[in-house]
Structure 1
């Protein structure tokens, strides 16, 4: 008779709204099979007495959006803590040096959150090259069929050049999803060895060349001091007339004022799921420009896609309980270049 797998004492540490979206009844049933979850507590504030008491017996933190920082004070209250399993992407907002110094293992569902972002991006690439927003508005205005082929020789996806900024999880997935199409993909990533670009089937180029030669530029770089406003006024001016800029990464990577100036002229198009500032001020021209598709940070997991992240986290908990290494570990020395 086999010995039952031990169930590590696990505390949910996330915003209460996040918990209600991530841990539905099905996920909770799976979770209870692999973990001994502290009942009745969602730790959105580690200073509460009931949370502090629960920390003392916790071996694994199951974290999510809204998790408070795990600083030295919190870590000192959790002498049995051995692992953090994150149900979302970046752990930077709450995993501190105190966690790494303790030797706590960290896992993230960033791979799962990357998938819908890449899918959104590919849809935006294909839609942008077909000028769907333009034709929608023209059809609404004219209310009649006309010769849509006249004057639109530059519309379409055949042999277009797509510039991907950043060989991140999302950037690599975008490249993979674009392979079936008759597109040329160029990549900028200063940390990527040339042989890896070859393996991805793309041509590595400098950022200026990518901006100047791409019909669509898609941003997938992390938010770092060195990437702030990497697409500045000069680089935006390098972009081809009629080119599209897609940003699903962070708004701070683009000089918003310079981008607005370009978009107001109609020279460029943009698909923006993130902005700087975020949220925009109500009087921002980005809300009303016909050459801008503005969405409220929906490219990442939402709705049914939240379940993929939850399933990933439960799978990681099961691996931990079985004494196996995480399938999706977060490593301290990689965080400097991660989103």
Structure 2
């Protein structure tokens, strides 16, 4: 790329990004950095011509940029991703691209929803709201005998976090005022990192059988499929609360449904094997399951933050500075397969 020539930037995102008024400022910023070409390609054969035109690309995780496709894009030097799978990441890094990856921009909002689901499950907040709407609420008349013993406070409880990346660490920060007894499972995290945030690094089996609240924050990589399988789900404490803001991939959902149907476990779930969740899913009928439609990272602030993270790194790349959010070969294990 000649010094005087402005960078050619392909922004390949779903069309809603280009219509969203809250993102106008980010796209104006990108327009000052580069000549923009906005597209919404889903397949490799669709993106090839525009990718060959570009010096840089900002995109989600699709289409996968294979070695063969990259070999036909001689100008391309930089790739910024909202998220990325292992195959794309490996091909791009081996091709010599500078790669930025901003999935941790979702983490603050995901951690907030995790805390909200914990409180919802322990304090039965949404149940009380629904009953008030329907006019079927129960007012305490024989205090304190008729207080539901399964409505519990969070303060002082034993909480386990599975996956101590950006989401898990932020959740630990949010839990600090509640003075919980925090256990952490993550084979890639040093003990000192967990301890710095008030947690104790333990084996998964220890966490499962000793935590009143278990929160799943791990990534859906090849090593985490059914991290909570039949054995782990059976080992969960009676009346424990399982919160999943990670991926359904982490849980044997059939085993979870069977345990929930016994009535001695609670679950608050934001992710499912099939999305949208089928209308006939048994989860919809279980009174001990609280469900949200994959909304954990979804506030518009997350989207603005993520695009600005990628814009920061594009600007750093163009100015010859170090990236804030670089992706390296050492990080591949944490990416989806």
**Could you state the TM-score of these two structures normalised by the residue count of structure 2?**
0.88
Query: How far off is 1:42 after superposition?
Result: 4.2
Q: Is the 8 A contact 2:99 2:327 kept in 1?
A: yes
Query: How far off is 1:19 after superposition?
Result: 4.3
In the TM superposition, 1:97-108 aligns within 5 A as 97-108=90-101
Distance in 2 of aligned mates of 1:235 and 1:92? 27
Q: Is the 8 A contact 2:67 2:95 kept in 1?
A: no
The one of 227, 232, 254 aligned to 1:230: 227
Matched with 1:221 is 218
Matched with 1:152 is 148
1:81 aligns to 2:80 (yes or no): no
Aligned residue for 1:47, secondary structure, equals helix
**Could you state the TM-score of these two structures normalised by the residue count of structure 1?**
0.88
Q: Is the 8 A contact 2:22 2:300 kept in 1?
A: no
Matched with 2:30 is 31
In the TM superposition, 1:21-170 aligns within 5 A as 21=20, 24-38=23-37, 41-48=39-46, 52-64=48-60, 67-86=62-81, 88=82, 90-92=83-85, 95-136=88-129, 140=134, 142-143=136-137, 145-147=139-141, 149=144, 150-153=146-149, 155-170=152-167
Distance 1:277 1:45, change over 3 A: closer
Q: Is the 8 A contact 2:118 2:268 kept in 1?
A: no
| 1:28-60 C-alpha deviation (Å, 9 max, x unpaired) | 21111122213x644444424xx5443333111
Distance in 1 of aligned mates of 2:153 and 2:317? 48
| 1:248-305 C-alpha deviation (Å, 9 max, x unpaired) | 1111211111111111122111111111244444321101211111111111234343
Q: Is the 8 A contact 1:264 1:289 kept in 2?
A: yes
Distance 1:22 1:241, change over 3 A: farther
Q: Is the 8 A contact 1:211 1:235 kept in 2?
A: yes
Aligned residue for 1:224, secondary structure, equals coil
Distance in 2 of aligned mates of 1:338 and 1:41? 25
Q: 1 or 2, which has the higher helix percentage?
A: 2
Aligned residue for 2:177, secondary structure, equals coil
Q: Is the 8 A contact 2:93 2:328 kept in 1?
A: no
User: RMSD value over aligned CA atoms?
Assistant: 2.5
Distance in 1 of aligned mates of 2:137 and 2:271? 33
Q: Is the 8 A contact 1:12 1:43 kept in 2?
A: no
Aligned residue for 1:56, secondary structure, equals helix
Distance 1:191 1:144, change over 3 A: closer
Matched with 1:306 is 303
Query: How far off is 1:23 after superposition?
Result: 8.1
Aligned residue for 1:9, secondary structure, equals strand
Aligned residue for 1:274, secondary structure, equals coil
| 1:3-46 C-alpha deviation (Å, 9 max, x unpaired) | x99742111123334444498322221111122213x6444444
Distance in 2 of aligned mates of 1:284 and 1:174? 29
Structure 2, unaligned runs of 5 or more? none
Aligned residue for 1:334, secondary structure, equals helix
Name the count of aligned residue pairs: 330
| 1:77-101 C-alpha deviation (Å, 9 max, x unpaired) | 2111111112x2x311772533121
1:264 aligns to 2:261 (yes or no): yes
Distance in 2 of aligned mates of 1:144 and 1:15? 46
